[in-house]
Amino acid sequence: METEDSSERVTRHIPAIDISALTVRYRRAQHDDELVAIEDLQLTVGEGEFVAVVGPSGCGKSTLLQVVAGLIPPSAGEVRVEGKPVQGPGPERAVVFQDYALLPWRTVEGNIRFGLEMQGRYDSSRAEEISRYIHMVGLDGFEQTYPRELSGGMRQRVGLARALVTEPRILLMDEPLAAVDAMTRERMQYELENIVKTTAQAVLFITHSVDEAITLADRVAVMTTGPGRIKENLRVELPRPRGRSVRGEPRYTELRDQIWSLLEQESIDPTFDMEATG
């Protein structure tokens, strides 16, 4: 019987991420009760597919991503990555958080190198590879700059490059552009779209912005108010690249209205990012 070479990517009929009947409960000692953050959630992300998840604040979006990352264990159900049950973090997945999480005493190059060091994969032969990812995120000339000397958008680029340099097959992104200004956010959306197209990674992307979800994703998964479930999956059938002009497309407007209608049915939390969603 022929076996698959473990060094090769899984065959295309196996999803990059396969989430089945996922439930996550938290014990709240202060209230002496249990909070159900996610309940019976189903979701798949195909190989090379970009799936954005939107939903009301507190619906469990970030919890979902942390379970896939292997940072939180499920209370019930199963999460499989490339056909294997998730039992903790793994080198095939990389996480990009909203808060940058950069080491202030390290330069741009040092922060990007850190991901490889944590995996025991760094040596001097990787210098050219690190330079390639610095160029990919547009930070040429800032290699020896410290985080305190960078803008918010530039810090987020460092976080993205640190994730990319480990060459994960799956990117997990938790509102990575939420902390930057509107103009930087739009530029980085365009750059992220190009990077993912180049690297062909599967992406699970958490966002509060409906416009951002439509701009970046192949598919948008809308979550219910907590306990979180997937209310609807909507395929984004719009041509790429999706610059500002795509917002004039009838299908864009139709999708945007459809997603907002689904969210409004969930009694959107007043803290939902109205400005970011336009």
Residue 2 lies in a domain: no
φ/ψ of residue 30, rounded to 5: -65, -35
Distances (CA, A) of 198 to 48, 142, 194, 241: 11, 23, 6, 12
Residue 221 lies in a domain: yes
**Residue of 217, 213, 209, 225 whose CA lies nearest to 275:** 209
**Is residue 199 predicted with pLDDT exceeding 50?**
yes
Residue 82 lies in a domain: no
CATH of the domain at 207: 3.40.50.300
Please name the amino acid found at residue 225: T
Radius of gyration over every alpha carbon of the chain, rounded to an integer in angstroms: 19
Distant-in-sequence, close-in-space partners of 224: CB < 8 Å, separation ≥ 6: 55, 59, 230, 231, 266
pLDDT computed for residue 13 by the predictor: 77
Sign of the Cα torsion 214, 58, 168, 11 reads negative
pLDDT computed for residue 128 by the predictor: 86
Reported as a single tens digit per residue, the pLDDT across 101-120 is 899 999 999 999 988 888 88
Q: How far is CA 118 from the centre of its chain?
A: 20
Residue 127 lies in a domain: yes
Strand partners, 226: none
Reported as a single tens digit per residue, the pLDDT across 221-241 is 999 998 999 999 999 999 888
Distances (CA, A) of 151 to 113, 179, 181, 258, 275: 20, 11, 10, 35, 21
User: What tokens does 75 get?
Assistant: 């209370």
Reported as a single tens digit per residue, the pLDDT across 24-71 is 998 877 767 788 999 999 999 999 999 999 999 889 999 999 999 999
**Is residue 142 predicted with pLDDT exceeding 60?**
yes
Residue 177 lies in a domain: yes
Residue 33 lies in a domain: no
φ/ψ of residue 229, rounded to 5: -135, 165
pLDDT computed for residue 3 by the predictor: 42
pLDDT computed for residue 9 by the predictor: 42
Contact 174, 62 (CB under 8 A): yes
What is the 8-class DSSP label of residue 245? Answer: G
Q: How many domains does the chain have?
A: 1
Residue 181 lies in a domain: yes
pLDDT computed for residue 7 by the predictor: 40
pLDDT computed for residue 270 by the predictor: 44
* Domain enclosing residue 116, as ranges: 49-70+92-264
Contact 174, 71 (CB under 8 A): no
Arithmetic mean of pLDDT over the chain: 86
Residue 114 lies in a domain: yes
